[in-house]
Amino acid sequence: MDKKGFLSGVRTPGGYKTCVRETGQYGLASETKGGIGMSSGTEPSKSLAHTFREEPRVVSFPELTDELMEDIRRRKELIRKRGMVGLPSGIRKLDKLLGGFQPGLHLLASEEKIWRLSITLPTAFRVAEEGYPALYVTFGFSPRELWVIGLCSRAGLPVRDHIWRETAPADLSKIVRIPTTTLRNLRFIKGTSDLTASRLKDVISSILLRRSTDECLVIIDSLQEWVACMKGYQDLWKNACHLVNDLDQLSKQLSIPILVVTSMDQSKRRGSLFSRLRDSGDLEYSAVTALFLVENRRRRVMPPDSAIDLVIAKNRYGETGKIPLVYYANTMAVREKRAS
């Protein structure tokens, strides 16, 4: 690395290529004991449009055929290796319908803010356990809170007994045995007003290079909280549109899945689920899948637990459907409802 730039990895049909970007005072993200730390400096570009400058490519039919056959071979190998093309969520029926989280934007909306953690955190842990990097970008909860919630959910421990008192994550780690692979692959970023999609790309590229892999799951929690603290724009809808476009470009450039959490309008109980999205820009159009966590008032469970449904309202890779779940309030975990 020289004083003018740093190396970053870019996934291409032929593998990884190395690009050099000028940095000025802005440096690459560095890993710390608390996760990934951001170095300070000048504000990077707000758009990814000029991040990579690629020459126009003219391809022939035989070249496209070769790439298609290589993609088919790669997909077959992934299915043989882990049973699905994408990265696992840990929910059996969801993985079956989606084929795992494949490259692209994935929308996750929830009627209750706390429900989304029962999907995002176990998914991050599961991906890390499988040996792939998982990067959790949080704007609401602190990384420490998410770590404690994740450990408690896995162990079936009451979250409130640990989250509101000074219980060190290291103490919980002694209770819940976490494989070294998981600890090495799971990373958290505390979102701030200085975080942009361009800077996030630099962090992801660094992780992919250090882990010598081309697969990574990124979770954005949440879109509205990131938009609210963005710099440069005053209109929330425009902020959301710009951010969604940048995240879409990021997922395509690096060929990775990005799970974007968004909010639902609580005042609307009728109409389509998409009409209940709040300040989400064009996320519902850009996303390859759209998942909604909604309450099922017809099913009864013992309070304070809740009967909820995970609705797959959009799925570019297969069928849509509905997965009955039970949300356990004490442990902040969900389980698939057993067929009666």
pLDDT tens-digit map of 277-332: 988 888 999 999 999 999 999 999 999 999 999 999 999 999 999 999 999 999 99
Q: What does the alpha-carbon distance between residue 112 and residue 81 come to, in Å, rounded to a whole number?
A: 36
Angle at 311 between CA 127 and CA 340, to 5 degrees: 95
The superfamily CATH assigns to domain 86-336 is P-loop containing nucleotide triphosphate hydrolases (3.40.50.300)
The mean of the pLDDT values for the chain is: 81
Q: Two tokens at 92?
A: 């059996």
Predicted confidence at residue 38, as pLDDT, reads 37
Mean local confidence (pLDDT), 79-101: 93
Q: Which DSSP symbol is given to 39?
A: P
Lowest mean pLDDT among 46-55, 57-66, 88-97, 243-252: 46-55
Asked if residue 98 has pLDDT above 50, the reply is yes
Lowest mean pLDDT among 108-112, 135-139, 145-149: 145-149
Q: How far out from the chain centre does Cα 5 lie?
A: 28
Asked if residue 113 has pLDDT above 70, the reply is yes
Would you call 234 exposed, middle or buried from its count of C-beta atoms within 10 A (0-12, 13-18, 19+)?
exposed
Q: By percentage, how much of the chain surpasses pLDDT 90? A: 51
Predicted confidence at residue 92, as pLDDT, reads 93
Per-residue confidence band for 61, with pLDDT thresholds at 50, 70 and 90 = confident
Q: Two tokens at 294?
A: 């909604």
Asked if residue 100 has pLDDT above 60, the reply is yes
